[in-house]
A = this chain, B = another copy of it.
Amino acid sequence: MTSLHSKPLALKNVTVTDSFWRTEQELVRTAVIPYQWNALNDNVPGAAPSYCMHNFKAAAAQNKRKDTQGNAFVPPKYTFRGFEALPEDPANPDPDKFYGFVFQDTDFSKWVEAVGYSLAHHPDPALEQTADQAVDIVCAAQLDNGYLDAYYILNGMDRAFTNLRDHHELYCLGHLVEGAVAYYQGTGKDKLLKAACRFADYVDERFGRKPGQLRGYPGHEIAEMALVRLYEVTGEQRYLDLAEYFVTERGRQPYIFDIQADENAKRDADANYKPNTDPNRYAYHQANKPVTEQDEAVGHAVRAGYFYSGLADVARLADDQDLADAAERLWRNIVDKKLYVTGGIGGTVDGEAFSYNYDLPNDSAYSETCAAISLAFFARRMLELAPKAEYADVMESALYNTTLAGMALDGKSFFYVNPLEVNPYACHKDSRLRHVKPVRQKWFGCACCPPNIARIVESVQEYAYTVAEDGGTLFTHLYMGGVAKAELNGTAVELDVTANLPWQGDGKAVVRLGGDAAGTSAQAPARFTLAFRLPGWVGDESAAAAAITATGESESGADSSRVTREIRDGYLYLTGEWRDGDTVTFDFPMPVRMLAANPLVREDAGKVAFVRGPITFCAEEKDNGANLHLLHADVEALLADPSAAKVEEFDFHAGAKGIDDKGQGEVEDVTRRMVKLEVPAWREPLPAAVAAAGEGAAEVPAFAPLYAVYAPVKREPATATLIPYFAWANRGENEMTVWLRG
């Protein structure tokens, strides 16, 4: 059987010209990246300092002292100063001390990764110069042996790698590698890449199954997938081997986390220490059992998404069927039992984690932005293992819905948690919802989500295409306007795509051969396959396939077409002889789909959600009034006439004042073209006294008994106005729900 593996097109080989994603990328480039740079240099007024660059500078200075003092240099002896260490006097941080979270280094790595992507398709000499200077600072912090984590360099290397569970050194390595590869690929500059290789080499020496090596693995995963990237860019097998080691060593007994906890307690003579004997321990870290025995996605959702991404990578490159099966099992569990209809994952705030099967609460959801991003990472890697439309469907949903919902339409505030139902009154009053913010926040002390959005948005075209390992097939996974360049069976091929996603399903892909972008000279025909995803949101695979036609399929007078079609795993494979200028047109039906959840999802019982194309919609109070739980979709009317749900393109006006003295929830005036739905609905009326009192009804005096004999609910005809989920909370604090009662 031939391999089904494929590899993404490099970022610089794909341009993005469609208005949807260009707008998002410009937001990130012009708003997020500069903001991030200020943040990691502690230059954002009103925001808590990151201390990230401060720490690297302190480490560099220490290295210099060491060089100067030689043997007289006394390295710091380790003391634990807290998971987040803050200066006693915030106005005067000690220039020689480490501050912030143990993983604070990654602020830089994520930023430089986004910068690398941005520079790959949008040259900007000033930004590049800033980044080069930052790279210099970071590289100066590296120890001679290659170690590069400012936390231990400054706090004391005698305890490096002694608390793998909590202290994030390998997480820092992973992000550093991701950033370094992206910066190298975006600029061709390898200084940071070399530093990352040296740190990876050092880790490779220290970790493994050979005598004298530490049989450990990351407490927070990402190094696995990062090392695979490092392997792919350097060709050094040892990085792949190290990634494979981390993936396969994870969860083996005796647990390294137990061993290190024992050792640390002994070292610290900790009288209160009690070994962790919970039989399910380290599920939070996906380390409760070896991955080949795992069949349920558990624990911290971001860690999980990163781990499963690395797992899929290693499975593909090591061609390991057991690992591929594990990845598929974990994927199935997520998609069949733990996925929000917004492409989000993570049902519980406790551990920012996956909840149990089918537990997908809407109002107390965690659904972290980073977790949706990690799911997109995982999905693309599953596509690389084998092209199946389901992977792309989920990836597309995660990107268009929860990932983008993470950022305001002005690019200046962010959601960490993405609930599917919000009653702001409850968020303010109910401590059990303390993680749920009804408006986006300006920045976070633990600033993971904004930079994660930045890096995925700036590299979104890497998710659109892959090329089969044998070089004969170009897969189009996402329909995104722009030009994709690939070499197929030795021929330079360009696919010049026009698309109107996510609002309309039509578009075309013009084939250019021989690299002549202008397409003016006729190039020699070539044989290869163009495979196009049949989006699940069409609702009918045959209809989706019928919506695609290629010039070569219908040559007039030809007894057999040059290009033949085959449907496999949700992809339409168009194979044959392609000529320069051949055009593949597509016009996917994009019906409004009224979805119900599996009956085992208790939180969604009796409710429906509306999706159209890759977009999941939601109802906001701004359009529909308060008490959204009393607004019902008129399911009978919609069943009788599916066209009763009206689709309307319109100008969405974002803009809001802040809700507190910190300006949280503030959004600048921005207008974005998008689609809204007008859905037949009905409303349960409130008793008159409440209706008169208007908003904040829960504060009005009692008007009706708490319990009364049941009477049939009156139905006031109504229309529900639904906007894309990613656009919610851009017009001030208000109620929102994705699921409407039926």
Q: Which residues of A contact B (CB under 8 A)?
A: 332-333, 335-337, 339, 341, 348-351, 355-359, 364, 423, 425-426, 429-432, 539, 593-602, 605-606, 608-609, 627, 629-630, 635, 638-639, 684, 686-687, 690, 697-699, 702, 704-712, 741-742
Residues of B within 8 A of A598 (CB): 704-708
CB distance from A669 to the nearest CB of B (A): 33
Partner of A432, one of B348, B539, B599, B711: B348
Chain B residues closer than 8 Å to A595, beta-carbon distance: 707-710
Bound-complex Cα distance A332 to B349 (A): 34
What are the 4 tightest A-B residue pairs by CB atom distance, in nearest-first order? A336-B702, A356-B429, A596-B710, A350-B431
- A605 touching B629, Cβ below 8 Å: yes
Q: In the bound complex, do residue A336 and residue B430 qualify as a contact, i.e. CB atoms below 8 Å apart? A: no
- B608 and A630 form a contact (CB under 8 A): no
Residue of B nearest to A423 (CB): B602
**Contact among B357, B630, B638, B686 with A698 in the assembled complex (CB-CB below 8 Å):** B357
Q: Is the CB of A431 within 8 A of B348?
A: yes
28 residue pairs bridging A and B, Cβ less than 8 Å apart: A332-B702, A336-B705, A337-B698, A337-B702, A339-B706, A341-B707, A348-B432, A349-B432, A350-B432, A351-B431, A355-B430, A356-B429, A356-B430, A356-B698, A359-B426, A359-B430, A423-B602, A539-B709, A594-B710, A595-B709, A596-B708, A596-B709, A597-B707, A598-B707, A599-B627, A599-B687, A600-B697, A635-B710
Q: Are B359 and A596 in contact (CB under 8 A)?
A: no
Contact between A698 and B358 (Cβ–Cβ < 8 Å)?
A: yes
A348 CB to closest chain B CB (Å) equals 6
Q: A359-B426, A596-B709 are in contact. List 18 more A-B contacts (CB 8 A).
A: A349-B432, A350-B432, A355-B429, A356-B430, A357-B698, A539-B709, A594-B710, A595-B708, A595-B710, A596-B708, A596-B711, A597-B707, A598-B707, A599-B627, A599-B630, A599-B687, A600-B690, A605-B741
User: Complex formed: what's the CA distance from A599 to B599 in Å?
Assistant: 24
Determine whether the beta carbon of A707 is less than 8 Å from that of B426: no
Task: Report the bound CA distance from A429 to B602 in whole Å.
Answer: 15
Residues of B near A337 (CB, < 8 A) are 698, 702, 706
The distance in angstroms between the C-alpha atoms of A397 and B707, with both chains bound, is 13
Quick one: closest B residue to A357, CB to CB? B698
**Complex formed: what's the CA distance from A350 to B364 in Å?**
15
CB distance from A401 to the nearest CB of B (A): 13
Which residues of chain B come closer than 8 Å to A710, judged between CB atoms?
594-596, 608, 635, 638-639, 742
B contact residues around A638 at 8 Å (CB): 710
A705: chain B residues within 8 A (beta carbon): 336, 598
Chain B residue contacts of A635, Cβ below 8 A: 710, 712
Nearest CB in chain B: distance from A66 CB, A? 34
Q: How far is the CB of A85 from chain B (nearest CB, A)?
A: 15
Q: A426 vs B704: C-alpha distance in the bound complex, in angstroms?
A: 34
Partner among B336, B341, B359, B602 whose Cβ is within 8 Å of the Cβ of A629: B602
Q: What residues on B are CB-neighbors of A630 within 8 Å?
A: 599, 605
Interface-central residue, A431, A600, A697, A742, by most chain B CB under 10 Å: A600
- Contact (Cβ within 8 A) B432 A364: yes
Check A430 against B706 for contact (C-beta < 8 Å).
Answer: no
CB distance from A618 to the nearest CB of B (A): 15
Docked CA distance A635–B713 (Å): 11
Q: Min CB distance, A383 to chain B, in Å?
A: 19
A359 proximity list for chain B (CB < 8 A): 426, 429-430
Nearest CB to that of A296 among chain B residues?
B699
What B residues does A355 contact at CB under 8 A? 429-430
Whether A699 lies near B350 (C-beta < 8 A) is: no
Complex Cα distance, B715 from A606, in Å, reads 13
Q: What is the CB-to-nearest-CB distance from A359 to chain B, in angstroms, rounded to a whole number? A: 7
A84 to chain B, nearest CB (A): 16
Nearest-neighbor residue (CB-CB) of A616 within chain B: B707
B349 contacts A593, CB within 8 Å?
no
Assembled-state Cα–Cα distance A711/B349 (Å)? 32
Q: Is the CB of B599 within 8 A of A335?
A: no
Of B426, B599, B702, B712, the residue contacting A356 (CB under 8 A) is: B426
- Given contacts A349-B432, A432-B364, A629-B602, A609 and B702 within 8 Å (CB-CB): no
Which of A593, A605, A639 has the most CB atoms of chain B within a 10 A radius of its CB?
A: A605
Q: A706, B597: Cβ atoms under 8 Å?
A: yes
A425 to B337, CA, bound (A): 15
State in angstroms the CA–CA spacing of A364 and B630 once bound together: 22
CA A349 to CA B364, docked complex, whole Å: 15
Q: Is the CB of B596 within 8 A of A707?
A: yes
A83 to B292, CA, bound (A): 46
CB pair A599–B639 under 8 Å, yes or no, is no
Q: How far is the CA of A390 from the CA of B349 in the complex (A)?
A: 40
- Closest Cβ of chain B: how far from A199's Cβ, in Å? 36
Q: Please indicate the chain B residues that have their CB under 8 angstroms from the CB of A627 in the complex.
A: 599-600
For A425, give the chain B residue with the smallest CB separation: B356
List, in ascending order, chain B residues with CB within 8 A of A423's CB. Answer: 602
**For residue A594, which residues in chain B have a CB less than 8 angstroms away from its CB?**
709-710
Nearest Cβ distance between residue A274 and chain B, in whole angstroms? 14
Which B residues are in CB contact (< 8 Å) with A699? 357
When C-beta atoms are compared, the residue in chain B nearest to A591 turns out to be B709
Most chain B CB within 10 A, of A601, A635, A707, A708, is at: A707
Instruction: Give complex CA distance A687, B712 in Å.
Output: 30
The smallest beta-carbon distance between A649 and chain B, in angstroms, is 24
Give the residues in chain B near A601, CB-CB below 8 Å: 706
Query: A600 is contacted by which of B350, B364, B431, B698 (Cβ under 8 Å)?
Result: B698
Which residues in B have their C-beta under 8 angstroms from that of A706?
335-337, 339, 597-598, 601
Give the shortest distance, in Å, between A700 (CB) and chain B (any CB).
9
